[in-house]
Structure 1
């Protein structure tokens, strides 16, 4: 598949999709969403900032019948201000296009989510209040934008719904950190748990979620757990210990590898060498010189000719 920006490489499995979605966060997305569904909770899904679609594809697997799924990203659109434009130019390559996102998503799903192309400030006018059970925010890292995204999430989430804030603690995203902890201290957001990259929270009661989460983690040996209290909040911190990604269906472009014959050492991979350029023919005088000169001189002539081959 090609575009004006070049070839779009279609993914065969989720790991082929570019993006930052650690294994532990895949497990937690699956756990929070599965728990909602098992409890009969219904509500829409929202992701703000999709990049190439890795977490969006994962979220789309949990869309239930009758629910709506909305994603929002600038893609090729103009940023709303100079600071956001500079951030987008620095952080994303020219391959971040709506067409690339949609191609990746449709490799795993039959239908696209509802796509909003533009700044995240358009979300409150496009997504109904109290309509979502799960919101993932991974858009701008600028404080003013993140603060607005958190406000939108608070108004859009159903009671007890879950919001996930990406990059809440990275050294290059202080705006996210300030906006996230400001929401915890002053705006009623209750942290449920923290991972290396994401803060999971709710404006509802966090205790039932935390107790169920602690029970789940207690049965695993691949997840480090610590508990702290800060500003009246119980904070659960999780870290992967060699965790494997949860199973996820292959894309429609997956090709099952051919079985290895019994007793075989397995398939070998041979590196392909670039095809050598043909050497230009020698002139009559040079051919005669090569035939008559001593071998050491002949080798020197051939070496010099090789150094002048086209393409060097």
Structure 2
């Protein structure tokens, strides 16, 4: 993971918001949320760890009437332990609640419910069995991710989807251990894997897997494979030049200035094909023809006189 560029400007489109949210995961988030809406599944949304708000902005776009969206992050606050404080200082020193709110409100009229503090506060403030979609992208330390998964289990609806970020990255082994431990020992069932995230449920993953496979097999911009491991079917996905799904522009979006039109003379000069360079034979004829003609004229005059 590299540090995202921080900007004080209002974003004009989602791509302008700093953060790590690849096109493949934007596509999968959108698909899962739209599938829930089509199936009539109602419930709240929750994100643990928001950084500058890129994924939260997309989640907020899928909030239905009567649903609640909650986000939780330390922002400028103190971490609950020294290891988490060091992690926050190293990777998220530039994160502020003001920056998150500025970015979010560029796309939405109302902020989500914001919990400022460690993710351990969430199960006290979010009701059990209330959420249909949870994105966990907070601390990468094993103890914290273990707790976040436990909280998600209690908060998520039986048919809800939980997404674990950085479950396979080399710099986040704590997430990997906690994620696969939950699969092996805590009843979590994977739906699919992207390059960065695991999509899973404590319900039955098979109906969603069949619908997801049907959608992905129609696309040419995604690599797809299916494997079995420890009794779980794992759908593996990777981007092949995938573009992000369409997303509404920010209220601060400005059309790019049109490129200046070329000057008329320059345009006509550019339109006229270049004259080819004379060949060697033509250059020789040009040099020799005038003297030859002159000699022939002189001879004709001499004969007449």
TM above 0.5: yes
Instruction: Determine the C-alpha separation between the residues in 2 that align with 1:43 and 1:7.
Output: 33
Tell whether 2:201 aligns with 1:209.
Answer: no
Instruction: Determine the C-alpha separation between the residues in 1 that align with 2:55 and 2:34.
Output: 16
Matching residue of 1:62: 62
Matching residue of 1:293: none
Matching residue of 1:249: 248
Matching residue of 2:105: 106
Instruction: Determine the C-alpha separation between the residues in 2 that align with 1:78 and 1:233.
Output: 39
Matching residue of 2:291: none
Matching residue of 2:235: 236
Total equivalences in the alignment: 258
Please list every run of 5 or more consecutive structure 2 residues that lacks an aligned counterpart in the other structure: 1-5, 264-305
Tell whether 2:27 aligns with 1:30.
Answer: no
Deviations 1:193-215 (A, max 9, x none): 00110000000000001000000
Q: Which secondary structure state, in structure 2, belongs to the residue aligned with residue 205 of structure 1?
A: coil
Instruction: Determine the C-alpha separation between the residues in 2 that align with 1:260 and 1:197.
Output: 38
Instruction: Determine the C-alpha separation between the residues in 1 that align with 2:210 and 2:256.
Output: 43
Deviations 1:221-265 (A, max 9, x none): 11110010000000000001111110011111101234557779x
Deviations 1:25-60 (A, max 9, x none): 000000000000011111000000000000000100
Q: Which secondary structure state, in structure 1, belongs to the residue aligned with residue 248 of structure 2?
A: coil
Instruction: Determine the C-alpha separation between the residues in 1 that align with 2:236 and 2:218.
Output: 16
Matching residue of 2:276: none
Matching residue of 2:76: 76
Tell whether 2:90 aligns with 1:90.
Answer: yes
Give the superposition deviation at 1:62. Answer: 0.2
Please list every run of 5 or more consecutive structure 1 residues that lacks an aligned counterpart in the other structure: 1-5, 265-312
Q: CA RMSD in A?
A: 1.4
Q: How does 1:110-125 map to 2 (within 5 A)?
A: 110-125=109-124
* Stretches of 4+ aligned residues off by more than 4 angstroms: 258-264
Matching residue of 1:170: 169
Give the superposition deviation at 1:8. Answer: 2.0
Q: Which secondary structure state, in structure 2, belongs to the residue aligned with residue 122 of structure 1?
A: helix
Instruction: Determine the C-alpha separation between the residues in 1 that align with 2:51 and 2:150.
Output: 22
Tell whether 2:138 aligns with 1:130.
Answer: no
TM-score of the two chains, using structure 2 as the length reference: 0.82
